[in-house]
Structure 1
Amino acid sequence: MSKLQTAIRGIVLALGALVFLFPFYYMIIGSLQTKPDESIGGAFPNPANITGANFAAINDRINLFSGLLNSGIFTAGVLICTLVFGVLVGYALAVLQWRGRGVTFALVLLVQVVPFQLLIIPLYVLIARNYGLSDSYLGMILPFAINSTAVIIFRQYFLQLPKELFEAARIDGAGEFKLLWRIALPLVRPALVTAALLTFIGPWNEFLWPFLITKQADMQPLAVSLANYISNVAATASNPFGASLAGAVVLAAPVVVLFIVFQRYFVSTDVGSSVKG
């Protein structure tokens, strides 16, 4: 590749990165402005117009810590269920031989094309009315406990592992759970992190289901609390634009930090090096 082509590619990638990152930058700048500036110059604000009062203002109305805690518990519960069930089902579909395995995997793929919105009403009736789990963490977590995407990810990773490893361990008398814990899981650590990161975004930003299942303000995740603030309270704030953006910054910060820290796992898909030697 010539130097000119390299330079052009670098310029195009840099422009793409700027376009992608500008909304995040503008969100942070807007959350720190004393008065909203919607002009182009607002992207480069006067230091005299910078303040942290917007974070205090929205925290006085919706309690950011409580919302973050609820979001964390909701997301952690979904992550644990997703990883546990995803690993077990993915292992069964990839390694074990049993009748109906192909049909089961086809059903897993079929679930991918069914919109969650179609299931909301029956799920609400089942969980809120029949089980009485409204305004509870369990009621929020149950519809997301099994993630078909995670099942597919783990299945594909387990399929890459040499079958000889499992056959040798079975000859030595190892059971399937021991095979899974001692052999399979250590070799698919990138899949664990990738599935966790991909799953984290969903429940952390989820609005519709927690909004339906929770009525008490102290049980609502931050995304729901922030939406309620924008709809019902923001108009009475001295700077509703800045306060709303301050809440958005708090909601987005954990996701951005996690992706920065763990981004290398998205490209670490080569498990072959882990089984050589």
Structure 2
Amino acid sequence: MKYVLLALAALTFVYPFVWMLSASLSAESGLGDLTLLPEQFTWDNYITVFTKIPLGRAFLNSAFVAIVTTGLVLVTGAMVGYALARHEFVGRNWIFYAIIFTMTLPFQITLIPNYITMVRLGWIDTYLALIIPFSLSSLAVLLFRQAFQSLPQALIDAARIDGAGELRIIFQILVPNVLPTVLTITILTFMGLWNEALWPLIVIRDESTMTMPQLVTLFSVGGRAEGQLGVKIAAAVLLAVPVVILYLFFQKHFIRSMASSGLKD
């Protein structure tokens, strides 16, 4: 009975995605039936998407922004987390509490101040507007701090005796010992950045700089799809495929890292 219930739950989650893939390969007239196999199989929906919008360029933009920003999050998160975990200074706990407090605030609250900052810096329609505001993550700081606190102080003392500086201690000694945390932050950050559409819609107007979620959103609601549901679904499939592939490739590492980092129920 347990496996039957689990199988039913899995089908509940999987069915919409399977139908979406099937619908993207069906002719417009066959979208009314919720079947798992394409009706009147065709590639026309995908051809239309690539014809009407520069999806390849948007894919490269999203990949560049997500990879660079994730790297910055790992570097800044490790450095701040190390300082909060291993250095004694006035106001350390208050700074940590302030960082935790920012996690409770919805991103929409900071949209206007962040947009004004981007305008004053002249970063509108540039990659900097997509990267810099997300280059420091409070979640990354929290996870790195907790992970570094769990490591023995003797490890750091031995590295200092050998002449290692602070940066070398962080990235060559401590980070390799908390790989589950690194993987958790990498996957969560990359997936969040890849799916981000609201912020790019606000700060990017040049089509050559648009990310894939932004371009697909504008394509679906802006009239280019000409009301064709199959074309909209095809665009959504193309947006979801990279994340699905990433998850399938790192599935075991993702589950292990989530469990090791204490993010499980």
TM-score by length of 2: 0.91
The 5 A counterparts of 1:183-202 are 183-202=173-192
- CA distance, structure 2, for counterparts of residue 226 and residue 182 of structure 1: 40
1:234 CA drift (Å): 4.4
Query: Which is worse superposed, 160-169 or 255-264?
Result: 160-169
Q: What is the Cα deviation at residue 22 of structure 1?
A: 1.3
| CA contact 1:187–1:271 (8 Å) conserved in 2 | no
Task: Indicate the structure (1 or 2) with the bigger Cα radius of gyration.
Answer: 1
Shift of 1:270: 10
What corresponds to 1:84 in structure 2? 75
What residue in structure 2 maps to residue 5 of structure 1? Answer: none
Partner of 1:94, secondary structure, is: helix
- Secondary structure of 1:267 counterpart: helix
Aligned to 1:126: 117
Q: 2:94 aligns with which of 100, 103, 107?
A: 103
**2:205 counterpart residue number:** 215
Tell me how far 1:34 sits from its aligned partner: 1.5
Deviation at 1:103, TM superposition (A): 0.9
8 A Cα contact 2:57 2:208, kept in partner: yes
Query: Are the aligned partners of 1:127 and 1:134 in contact in 2 as well (CA < 8 Å)?
Result: yes
The structural deviation recorded for 1:42 is: 2.8
Tell me which residue corresponds to 2:64.
73
After the TM superposition, which segments of 4 or more aligned residues of structure 1 sit over 6 Å from their partners? none
Aligned equivalent of 2:253: 265
Query: Do the aligned partners of 1:188 and 1:271 also contact (CA within 8 Å) in 2?
Result: no
What is the letter of the counterpart of residue 87 of structure 2? L
Give the deviation of 1:115 after TM superposition. Answer: 1.2
Give yes or no for the alignment of 1:27 onto 2:15: no
How far apart in 2 are the matches of 1:209 and 1:270? 27
| Structure 1 residue ranges without an equivalent (≥5) | 1-7, 273-277
Match among 146, 159, 164 for residue 169 of structure 1: 159
| Residues 134 and 214 in structure 1, CA contact (< 8 A), matched pair in contact too | yes
**Which residue of structure 1 aligns with residue 147 of structure 2?**
157
Separation in 2 of the partners of 1:144 and 1:251?
A: 21
Question: What are the ranges of 5 or more consecutive residues in structure 2 without an aligned counterpart?
Answer: 261-265
Match of 1:242? Answer: 230
- SS of 2:250's equivalent in the other structure is helix
Measured in 2, the distance between the counterparts of 1:137 and 1:260 equals 28
Matches within 5 A, 1:51-62: 51-62=42-53
Displacement of 1:170 after TM fit?
A: 2.4
Match of 2:9 in 1: 16
TM superposition score normalised by structure 1:
0.88
Secondary structure of 2:136's match? coil
Q: Deviations over 1:97-127 (max 9, x none)?
A: 2222111110110010111111111111111
Letter matched to residue 268 of structure 1: R
Mapped contact 1:36–1:241 kept (Cα < 8 A) = no
Q: Match of 1:44, as an amino acid?
A: L
Question: Cα deviation per residue 1:183-240 (whole Å; 9 max; x = unaligned)?
Answer: 1011112221210100012211111110111111111111111111112234536xx1
1:38 CA displacement: 4.2
Aligned with 1:45 (options 38, 43, 48):
38
Retained in 1: the 8 A contact 2:24–2:230?
A: yes
Separation (CA, whole Å) in 1 of partners of 2:2 and 2:52: 47
Distance 1:258 1:192, change over 3 A: same
Distance 1:39 1:57 in 2: 20
The count of corresponding residues between Structure 1 and Structure 2 is: 260
